[in-house]
Amino acid sequence: MAGQDLRKRFMRRFVGMEKYSRSEAVGIVAVYVATIAVSVFAGHYLLSLPLTWITATLMFSVAVFIGTRLRGLNNIVHECTHSTFCEDRGDNVTLGRFCSSLLIGCFKEYKHDHLSHHAHLGDYHQDREMGPIEKFALHEPISARTILRHFITPLMGRHLKMYSGINLSGSDGAPYLALKIVLLVAICAFTLVHPLTSLAFILLPLFYIFPTINFWTDCLDHAGIVGEDDELEATRNVLASTPVKLLFFPRNDCFHLVHHLFPQVPARHLETAHHELLKDSTYQNSGAAMKPIYRSLTQPIAKVT
């Protein structure tokens, strides 16, 4: 298969790519957490101002921005799953558990599900990430009808059962379960004191906006090509401008095809790997490698033979 051949040719070139040191990794996580906290208080301030179309637009923007930063934390969990975030494998586990706890999730369960996604991409019976969302029919060919359905699904909240929720599993260990409980208690206490702020800038981003971004990202990554045998055809890159990439695709997750082909490549180097792969005609001629964001769900992927 084209994807396997490509992997064999480039595997050695991508070995040993630099990961973050412990201090760098902790600093990145801290920046995400601080950004979310500052954004919540910025939203709280906006609520104190007279309601106008300007303040309403700013409040909506802040809520969406918080959702994107939660997505960034989730992407760090993903990197820790592959042990590509930190130099030390143990640090990947620790930070993966910590970030999962901030999202009221479970690192151990996420890792188990995600690795099955790589091993059985698009197999609804064995892919534990795609299986629960089979009813959304991401395998159906792209058409105006399916695009509209994928757009409307989150607006109706049909995705929330699969993409949102509270996981109080103790699989990551007692300290992380305690962290989740403390966080939930703090959210409840904050809600009693500042209900509108909590609703608009904590509960809505955590339990609706962040899951919605995840669902739409899954659509961009896989819709219309679920079940393809070759990894070069079963997922896609989504090329976007730098501002869009920084906002909606934190941690380079727009290079999803590169990640599936080379999961050992740290996220910070995915774009570099993409440009290196473009030197290969098989990759370059794949529609999956070069989809601009506005065409990702509007044109089928040309198969590589």
117 has a pLDDT exceeding 70:
yes
Q: Quick one: pLDDT band at residue 301, thresholds 50, 70, 90?
A: very low
Return the closest-CA partner of residue 99 out of 250, 268, 240.
250
Domain ranges in the chain?
2-130+142-295
What b/e sequence results for 131-154 when a residue is b if at least 16 CB atoms lie within 10 Å of its CB, and e otherwise?
Answer: bebeebebbeebeeebeebbeebb
CA distances from 199 to 51, 159, 195 (A): 17, 19, 6
CA atoms within 13 Å, Cβ hemisphere of 65: 18
Tokens 């105006």 correspond to what residue?
Answer: 144
Tokens 């299986």 correspond to what residue?
Answer: 131
Query: What's the pLDDT tens digit per position in 39-93?
Result: 999 999 999 999 999 999 999 999 999 999 999 999 999 999 999 999 999 999 9
Report CA dihedral (180, 30, 159, 108) to the nearest 10 degrees. -60
224 has a pLDDT exceeding 60:
yes
Return the closest-CA partner of residue 86 out of 13, 30, 23, 32.
23
Contact 263, 115 (CB under 8 A): no
Contact 211, 70 (CB under 8 A): no
Q: Quick one: pLDDT band at residue 232, thresholds 50, 70, 90?
A: confident
Contact 213, 68 (CB under 8 A): yes
252 Cβ neighbours under 8 A, 6+ residues apart: 245, 267, 268, 270, 271
Q: Is residue 200 classed exposed, middle or buried when 0-12, 13-18 and 19+ CB atoms within 10 A define those classes? A: buried
Tokens 């740290």 correspond to what residue?
Answer: 266
**Stated pTM of the model:** 0.92
294 has a pLDDT exceeding 70:
no
27 has a pLDDT exceeding 50:
yes
Q: Is residue 67 classed exposed, middle or buried when 0-12, 13-18 and 19+ CB atoms within 10 A define those classes? A: buried
How far, rounded to the nearest angstrom, does the alpha carbon of residue 217 sit from its chain's CA centroid?
Answer: 7
Query: What's the pLDDT tens digit per position in 136-165?
Result: 999 999 899 999 999 999 999 999 999 999
% of the chain at pLDDT higher than 70: 94
Q: Quick one: pLDDT band at residue 233, thresholds 50, 70, 90?
A: confident
Query: Would you state the pLDDT for residue 230?
Result: 83
Contact 296, 220 (CB under 8 A): yes
Tokens 């994807």 correspond to what residue?
Answer: 3
Question: What average pLDDT score do residues 167-173 get?
Answer: 96
Query: Would you state the pLDDT for residue 81?
Result: 98
